[in-house]
């Protein structure tokens, strides 16, 4: 049998030349990826945990094509830092599902943002036509090497930061007007809730998770205190362009996880009967519908509902 390294020598040389160039270009060879405190592999593992719903170490190592023992050592280091939590699977206690802790997201988000800035700077330096050619070539490379790879649909969950509240208010106003016929008084209500959240924010008792996709805010959820022992879930929304990715379920789960860690023993929320998708998320998350009353608000007639559950 002919040696492919010999018969394809020019192609092999070109392939390896590009590999050397690109690994150096993206900073894959150093211990600190693009100025972060972690290596490229560590950054990728954190990315997989942040963007997937409860992955296992086995799934991550298989998808990344990295030795399971190496991934296990990285996860051990992350757990020692308090960045990653592992909880038993609901149906198989032998399986451990991974998620980022609040500290893990606080560490990962700036690194992720920095990587986006580096990529944006590299693309911005190119002429528009060269940028198009580059991205097209990247897509071609991926399609040729792995034709079965599904298009990535990642999203990031992160704490709120300056500028987010304006986007959340605007997104609520657009979405509820388009889908439910709400008038601008609803947007005013959302603005008041957001302002109160910022004015009274206590990181030990309150939280906001923002879902971001391709740099755009596509979802949110808020936790505030209804009383000393009861957390109130507010302003859960998922943009229509990002539905089907499990974002609403994930936001609700993260909100409940925070509420438990903050010492709340119960959670309540207010919704209405026309928000069928949200009501299904709440039902599957273990909430019970405990009260209803007719409501005329925001230019429409509906039934206001209170849902609750123990934590």
- The pTM of the full predicted model, rounded to 2 decimals, is 0.57
Q: Which two tokens stand for residue 211?
A: 């879902």
Q: Which of 263, 259, 247 is nearest to 287 (CA)?
A: 259
Q: Name 211's bridge partners.
A: 157, 219
Q: What is the mean pLDDT of each run of 10 residues along the chain (311 residues)?
A: 74 87 76 70 90 89 90 93 90 87 90 84 84 77 72 74 93 93 95 96 94 86 95 94 87 93 95 92 94 94 95 92
The alpha carbon dihedral of 57, 83, 238, 123 has a sign of negative
Phi (first) and psi of residue 77, to 5 degrees:
-65, -40
The reply to whether 156-310 shares the fold of 31-145 is no
Q: Name 216's bridge partners.
A: 213
Query: If one looks up domain 31-145 in CATH, what number appears?
Result: 1.10.10.10
Which segments within the chain are labelled E, that is strand?
Answer: 84-88, 96-100, 156-159, 207-213, 216-225, 230-238, 266-272, 288-297, 300-310
Q: Which of 263, 269, 261, 303 is nearest to 286 (CA)?
A: 269
Q: Which two tokens stand for residue 74?
A: 């990285």
Torsion of CA 257, 259, 262, 268, to 10 degrees: -170
| CA pair distance 64, 42, nearest whole angstrom | 11
- Structural contact between residues 96 and 86, judged by C-beta atoms closer than 8 angstroms: yes
| CA pair distance 100, 258, nearest whole angstrom | 12
Q: Which two tokens stand for residue 244?
A: 């089907």
Q: What is the pLDDT of residue 149?
A: 62
Q: Which two tokens stand for residue 135?
A: 């991205």
Give me the half-sphere count of Cα atoms (radius 13 Å) on the Cβ side of residue 143. Answer: 7
- Structural contact between residues 8 and 2, judged by C-beta atoms closer than 8 angstroms: no
Domain ranges of the chain: 31-145, 156-310
Q: In which residue are the tokens 């997104």 written? A: 171
Domain at 156-310: CATH architecture: 3-Layer(aba) Sandwich (3.40)
Max Cα distance, the chain (Å): 79
Q: What is the pLDDT of residue 191?
A: 97
- Structural contact between residues 41 and 66, judged by C-beta atoms closer than 8 angstroms: yes
- Structural contact between residues 192 and 139, judged by C-beta atoms closer than 8 angstroms: no
Q: What is the pLDDT of residue 92?
A: 81
């Amino acid at each position: 049998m002919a040696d492919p390294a010999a018969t394809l020598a020019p192609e092999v040389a070109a392939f390896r030349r590009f590999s050397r160039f690109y690994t150096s270009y993206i900073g894959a060879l150093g211990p600190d990826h693009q100025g972060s405190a972690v290596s490229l592999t560590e950054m990728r593992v954190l990315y997989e945990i942040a963007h997937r719903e409860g992955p296992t170490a086995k799934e991550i190592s298989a998808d990344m094509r990295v030795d399971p023992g190496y991934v296990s050592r990285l996860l051990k280091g992350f757990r020692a830092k308090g960045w990653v939590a592992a909880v038993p699977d609901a149906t198989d206690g032998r399986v451990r599902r991974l998620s980022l802790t609040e500290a893990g997201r606080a560490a990962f988000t700036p690194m992720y943002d920095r990587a986006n800035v580096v990529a944006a700077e590299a693309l911005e330096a190119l002429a528009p036509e060269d940028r198009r050619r580059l991205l097209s070539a990247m897509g071609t490379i991926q399609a040729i090497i792995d034709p079965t790879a599904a298009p990535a649909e990642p999203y990031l969950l992160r704490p709120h930061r300056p500028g987010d509240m304006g986007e959340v208010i605007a997104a609520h106003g657009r979405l509820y007007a388009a889908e439910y016929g709400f008038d601008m008084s609803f947007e005013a209500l959302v603005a008041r809730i957001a302002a109160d959240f910022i004015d009274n924010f206590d990181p030990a008792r309150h939280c906001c998770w923002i879902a971001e996709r391709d740099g755009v805010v596509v979802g949110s959820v808020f936790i505030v205190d209804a009383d000393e022992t009861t957390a109130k879930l507010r302003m859960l929304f998922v943009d229509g362009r990002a539905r089907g990715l499990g974002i609403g379920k994930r936001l609700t789960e993260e909100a409940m996880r925070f509420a438990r860690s903050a010492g709340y023993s119960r959670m309540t929320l207010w919704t209405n009967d026309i928000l069928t998708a949200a009501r299904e998320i709440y039902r599957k998350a273990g909430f019970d519908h405990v009260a209803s009353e007719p409501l005329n608000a925001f230019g429409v007639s509906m039934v206001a509902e209170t849902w609750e559950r123990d934590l």
